[in-house]
Chains A and B, each alone.
Chain A
Amino acid sequence: MSSLDPSIAGWRHLDPDASTVREAHDPTVGVVFEVYGDGARLHDQIVGRPGAFARLEARLLRLRAEDSLPALACEVPLRTDNLGALSRIVDVAQELGALRCTFAAPTVDGPGMAPVDRMIPAVLGALDRCREVGVVGRVRGLPACLLGEHAGCLEGAGDASDPPAFACLFASRCELGDRCRGLPTAYVHRFGWEARRLRPALRASPWPLHDSSSEAFAAWRALLGRAASRVTAVALDRCAARFSVDLGRGRSLVLELTPRTEEAPALARSRSFDIRYTRAKGVGGPELARIVRAIAAAIVARDDGSLYLDPRRGLPPLPPLPSGA
């Protein structure tokens, strides 16, 4: 969770029903509280405990009196029964002192799970309200492509769970795919993939597998140093970068970079890559060894870690645009 204030190192969730013993005051830890409704009636009804909202208010007052509130943030679980109240919940959160309001879609199935065509308009209205009242708006667990101008409010790009807790049909075809996890898998099971509702910003080409133009993959070619001029084609995907190298006089080889490991067989290892060659033609023995070791040494010298491959997370970085583009 990102902090609003650089001095806030972390956040803790507030349990309004927990013991009222004076809490240790840590000025670097912010407090997150949950609000389900725009007032006591709806909040208490959803959490199923009469007086819950009053206890939350009282707890926050007490913490404030004890000077134990370095920063406050509000989290609003999205449910079918509070969607109509989201904008008013922003006002409640502000009155309670929250600097940030996060709208969190459910990640497990339950009676409160609503379809995106109901959630999104309500969330967009609430984000507009956040902007009006000066509260930072955030969203969790919804697709970025449906948030329009508020796409930047989406938080939590990574999904470290296995099997994945989020999924999107367009994950690797959408420009937003590297910072959007898509829909919760529980949502997909209940309401489907929403293929017709999602608005992916489709890449012109999902990933340029093969490109023999001299401009392509300039940053990747540059890794090879002087040998870059002998590269006839680059094939790049998330698992490997492969350079077809023409050594002249009918001699060629394919140089292969894969993500750096400590164990896999490799000719050499640079900061980000294991380096191998394959498909050597017309060359062998000591001459081949001399050539590939020279190229590998160039890569090791030039690999500063800015280019990388990752078969599981995201796409490798595209080469920078030419100046003036």
Chain B
Amino acid sequence: MYTPTTVEHPRHRLASSAAAPRSAGGERLFDLAFAPYRPLRPTAGKAGGDALLWEALQVAGARERWEPALRAIQRGVGRGRTIWGASVGAAQRTWRLRLANPGRVRLLEALRAELGPWLAVAPSVDDDGAYDVLGIELSEEVAARGCVDAVSHYLRGAEPRTLEVWQVGSAGRRRVDEVLIAEAKREINVTLPRIKASPIVDFSGDRSLLGRTLIPELFACRYLHVCRRCDADALVYSGINVDQLTWFLSRFGHPAALVDYARGQRERLDHLLFDVEVAYRQEGVAIVYPETTLYGNL
């Protein structure tokens, strides 16, 4: 007899990835808030959630550098609990990892051991395991130094469905992001005031600004993450399909080869949901996008 593994109403919670439904290929699927979802299509013959990561690394010429370390995380400490991110910004290309820590174990220590052959990870940080998600960023700069100086701690906020993000490193600990997670359409009465109460963008003057920050093609997603950072706001559109993903990659200047890959592999990716992040700030009368990120399951 079929034994269901679904968790009722997992939304807005950092769910244990162990509870996530498994696709036919055995891969656990979850979104950026680590809430599980069922694949949209039968998964036989489909690509894994990491396929776009390897292609993005390949296109960026960084696959050789990062794939061994990422594979080690995928097989080891990060197995079934890791989200990867590929950011394109004005300054540089960044590769992000988020590892769920529902048991509040000393995940950083395990990550240090895993990445030891390639990188030192926040050697100055004591690991007490007091975080729900652990985040690190990899870049050319990190590769050159051989060290990740700081890590991110994601903690449940004081309010329901909120997260606080703390950057922890040798310089100490500082809050770098506040995140509200809500259903995109049904809870627009919650997210819209939060988006408009921005210290970064003045929405009171030009009515068109909202259309350039809350992107209509991506609004048809499952959840919105409204992020408030020091120098920019950001929206994460969580749970978009592969067609929306292709539009996003093309619209926000991701490498053409990656766009072509997503378009060409559409049939192998159409069972997945993707999360994309668009950071924005106002410069004069214009909205600029300093960084956009694509997320997927590792």
Contacts and interface: CB of A to CB of B under 8 A. Distances in A.
Contacts of B241: 162
B188 interface: yes
A254 B9 CA distance: 12
17 contacts: A163-B220, A163-B240, A164-B219, A183-B216, A185-B217, A189-B216, A190-B208, A191-B207, A195-B192, A196-B207, A235-B9, A256-B4, A256-B6, A256-B8, A267-B1, A277-B4, A279-B8
Interface string B239-253: 011011001000000
Given A172-B185, A192-B209, A195-B210, A185 B1 contact: no
In which size bucket is the chain A interface? 35 or more
Nearest to A190: B208
Interface string A139-177: 000000000000000000000001110010111110000
Query: Max chain A CB contacts within 10 Å: which of B192, B214, B217, B218?
Result: B217
Contact of A167 (B38, B192, B207, B216): B216
B186 A206 contact: yes
A198 to B, nearest CB: 12
Contact of B220 (A167, A189, A265): A167
B189 to A, nearest CB: 7
Nearest to B246: A163
Nearest to A254: B8
Contact of A188 (B6, B186, B211): B211
A189 B211 contact: yes
B186 A173 contact: yes
Contacts of A235: 8-9
Contact of A276 (B4, B42, B216): B4
B243 A192 contact: no
A241 B217 CA distance: 28
Interface in B219-269: 219-220, 240-241, 243-244, 247
A49 B219 CA distance: 39
Contacts of A263: 42
Contact of B214 (A193, A242, A278): A193
A283 B2 CA distance: 15
Given A163-B243, A190-B208, A263-B42, 10 more contacts: A163-B218, A164-B217, A167-B216, A167-B220, A169-B219, A170-B188, A189-B212, A191-B208, A191-B211, A254-B8
A171 B247 CA distance: 21
Interface string A217-255: 000000000000000000100000010000000000010
Given A267-B2, A276-B2, A207 B211 contact: no
Contacts of A193: 210-211, 214, 216
A163 B4 contact: no
Contacts of A164: 216-217, 219-220
A295 B119 CA distance: 56
Contacts of A172: 185-186, 188
B186 A185 contact: no
Interface in A7-57: none
A110 to B, nearest CB: 16
Interface of A: 162-164, 167, 169-173, 183, 185, 188-196, 206-207, 235, 242, 254, 256, 263-267, 276-279, 289
Dominant SS among interface residues on chain A? loop
A215 to B, nearest CB: 22
Nearest to A262: B42
A172 B17 CA distance: 29
Contacts of A265: 2, 4
B150 to A, nearest CB: 35
A292 B27 CA distance: 28
B247 A190 contact: no
Contacts of A163: 217-218, 220, 240, 243-244, 247
Contacts of B244: 162-163
Contacts of B6: 256, 276, 278
Centre residue among A242, A264, A267 by max chain B CB count within 10 A: A264
Nearest to B240: A163
Contacts of A183: 216
Nearest to B189: A173
Contact of A162 (B38, B189, B211, B243): B243
Contacts of A276: 2, 4, 6
A192 B207 contact: yes
B37 to A, nearest CB: 10
Contacts of B189: 173
A170 B247 CA distance: 23
The 10 closest A-B pairs by CB, nearest first: A162-B243, A167-B216, A163-B217, A185-B216, A192-B211, A172-B185, A188-B216, A188-B211, A192-B207, A278-B4
B4 A192 contact: no
B297 to A, nearest CB: 19
Contacts of B42: 263-264
A279 to B, nearest CB: 7
Contacts of B217: 163-164, 167, 185
B145 to A, nearest CB: 39
Contacts of B214: 169, 193
A194 B241 CA distance: 26
Contact of B188 (A173, A190, A194, A277): A173
A172 B189 CA distance: 11
A324 B258 CA distance: 60
Nearest to B40: A311
Contact of B1 (A169, A188, A207, A289): A289
Contacts of A289: 1
Contacts of B219: 164, 167, 169
